[in-house]
Amino acid sequence: MKSRFAPDRGLSRRMLVTSFLLGLLYVAFVAALIALTKSAVIAVLIAGGALFVQYFFSDKIALYAMGGRIVTPEEAPQLHGAIDRLCALADMPKPRVAIADVDLPNAFATGRNPKNAVVCVTTGIMRRLDADELEGVLSHELSHVAHRDVAVMTIASFLGVLAGLITRFGLYSGLGGRRDQNTAVIVLTIVAVSAAVYAISFLLTRALSRYRELAADRAGAMLTGRPSALASALTKISGDIARIPSRDLRQAEAFNAFFFAPAISGKGVSLSSLFSTHPPLETRLDRLGVLSRELGEQA
């Protein structure tokens, strides 16, 4: 069943292309695993088992890592009320609702499909935003669920993480001790393939992540009809994130691809910003400003 979130053909095309290219990388990666383990059965079990865990338990893993917990309507009536209204407006299943007790102002959605999704907000974001701003953020996150780009990002991130682990395993264990020349060549080849898979998947997921954030901004703002509320939330959150201690930002950085706003200090342009998970704040605000004028939103 389709939701009433505005469809985005550009996002659909990018998800299709990204999935296809990641599928090719997955084949190359499994081939490297077969060479490493010298057993197709073991290689498939490792790759398939890791993918199974990531796909079916990504929501639980994310909540555990962020310290989030599922809350009932009695525990968080205003939050549940906002999500109930948005899901009714979007004609989509209501996801589970979670809260993470951290000061970092942010939110994220995870889950393999709309019927098995979780939307999590932090206590930091709930303290800082008013009702309209929080509704804008929630609509943004629900659009990720409706567009199913959360599942694509989950699978995409899995391949990069697993390839990185294999690269480190090959470097630290395969090259240690006394090895004959043939073994060294095999291990070096596996490390090279895994490193290439990691690098390519990294670039693919970053490119998709930046576009999907713009798509979610637009779809979420069109659903509520209040782009200015989402723009205000973005401005508040980005400004407050810059004041969060760097140690706390580093701890949350692994979730940047799923966050509403990236957990970075934003001090100038660095090499890492060239491969960021989110488009620049100015770009997001400009797009929302254009959308506000298109919708004839009253100030």
Which of 73-87, 182-196, 223-237 shows the lowest per-residue confidence on average (mean pLDDT)?
182-196
Contacting residues for 294 by C-beta, under 8 A, at least 6 apart: none
User: What b/e readout covers 222-237, taking b as 16+ CB neighbours within 10 angstroms?
Assistant: bbbebbbbbbbbbebb
Looking at every residue in the chain, the average pLDDT score rounds to: 81
Q: What pLDDT shows up at residue 232?
A: 95
Q: Consult the annotation and say whether 140 binds a ligand.
A: yes
Q: What pLDDT shows up at residue 268?
A: 45
Answer yes or no: is pLDDT of 95 > 90.
yes
The DSSP 8-state label assigned to residue 109 in this structure reads: E
Decide: pTM greater than 0.95. no
Give the best-scoring range by mean pLDDT among 51-60, 130-139, 208-217: 130-139
Query: Six-digit token pair at 37?
Result: 């383990």
Domain 9-197 is in which class? alpha beta
Question: Per residue in 136-158, pLDDT tens?
Answer: 999 999 999 999 888 888 777 76
Question: What is the layout of strands, in order, in the sheet containing 107-111?
Answer: 68-70, 96-100, 117-122, 107-111
Q: Residue range 281-287: average pLDDT?
A: 93
Q: What band does 270 get if pLDDT is binned at 50, 70 and 90?
A: very low
If DSSP codes are grouped into helix, strand and coil, which group holds residue 3? coil
Higher per-residue pLDDT: 199 or 133:
133
Name the maximum alpha-carbon separation found in the chain.
73
Neighbours of 188 (CB within 10 A): 14
Active site residues per annotation:
141
Output the CA angle 291-295-297, nearest 5 degrees.
100
Higher per-residue pLDDT: 54 or 134:
134
Distance, in Å, from the CA atom of 121 to the CA atom of 207, rounded to the nearest integer, reads 25
Distance, in Å, from the CA atom of 223 to the CA atom of 67, rounded to the nearest integer, reads 30
Cβ(277)–Cβ(262) under 8 Å? yes
Segment holding 99, helix H or strand E = strand 96-100
Contacting residues for 157 by C-beta, under 8 A, at least 6 apart: 54, 205, 257
Q: How many CA atoms lie within 13 A of 229 on its CB side?
A: 21
Helix/strand/coil percent split, the chain, to 5: 70, 5, 25
